[in-house]
Structure 1
């Protein structure tokens, strides 16, 4: 059940508020189409024209959520959304054209010849597409369907007050302390380098020496001499790369 619920398809109506909004939009559009006498219905008496349009739009609003679930998933990117809107419109037209033809005959007293069914299909598809697009634009994917933002690395909470908000360029072990190299300068904190490396998970960086952790963006130059590599950081610090970590850094393209 948990996996089934996680894979539940999203639609613009996929909440009680969405259903109410969809019905309200349908009723408003139905009133407008009745008032304007759309698609040649202006000759019909208002007492029939208004129930005809509002009723059909409400039927579409009740059926639309089930069709839209076929084409929209939670957290899907916006890419291709209009192709899915078109697909929803075509399915709605295919399933509702007969209903519209019947309503036209019963409510308006106008029988629909078979030769006009393609025209009726295109009219239903156009209205269905416009209604679906309107609901998609208004609703969009729900906030809870979006992936939560990752928590910032725990190590950033250890930065001294004067370094808060700075970019961490490197962490250097000095006896029992760590020297922090940042965009706002340097400072010392009491911590083991191994613990710092664990808490720096989430930042793009790597341990390059038993005494150094370096952020990828902090490196401005990398050079080799006598089989050993040295990294130059933004603050001018030169960091040795030990052979223990050199292979991993070469695979990453750092050196």
Structure 2
């Protein structure tokens, strides 16, 4: 779940409110089950604040980790991303538990117990991370409101952070459950299916060139053929592969000879 609260359109704020609600629900659930009896001595209201605070700490840490990985430009598979996020989340939550234990009870957690504590926290962090990804694919699916007078490309780009909304769309490529949006202002990952993206871009001047790629015609700089395999070179320098299934459409569009 995203932790980067940016100013944006009504869809952005709807998403943020949903995130806050989900954090609150997870905090309430953990208050009720009280894993490992960690908050057993606290009154109910304090236990709720305890668990919700830990959920927020873990969530913000995980999302900071994901943002750093996305901005690095490295293509990290979603399973690996989830694993790394769960570890950084567990580290942050473990540190917060150590702090809260010192503040609430005035006791320091014995160093010998810390590995076990981290292991217990990581199990919960991994579960919450997995649930978060599933929720993001459903409840927190990107919301885009049609913009009057805007082109399909502009409307599609309105779901991205502000800096991309004036960019020129070059291509869209699928990576697991995510899409990598290639633009004149760089790249961004969003949670969306390629089929849904192409449905939104149906009126745009572009076409599907591979089972995992959609390309805008004016985003293509050149073509490249190596070993019988054709690819389109985008204005950014990235190459979009062209599968045999779509070669006829690519040639008909004038993008290849």
TM normalised by structure 1 equals 0.46
The TM-score normalised by the length of structure 2 is: 0.46
Name which one, 1 or 2, has greater alpha-carbon Rg.
1
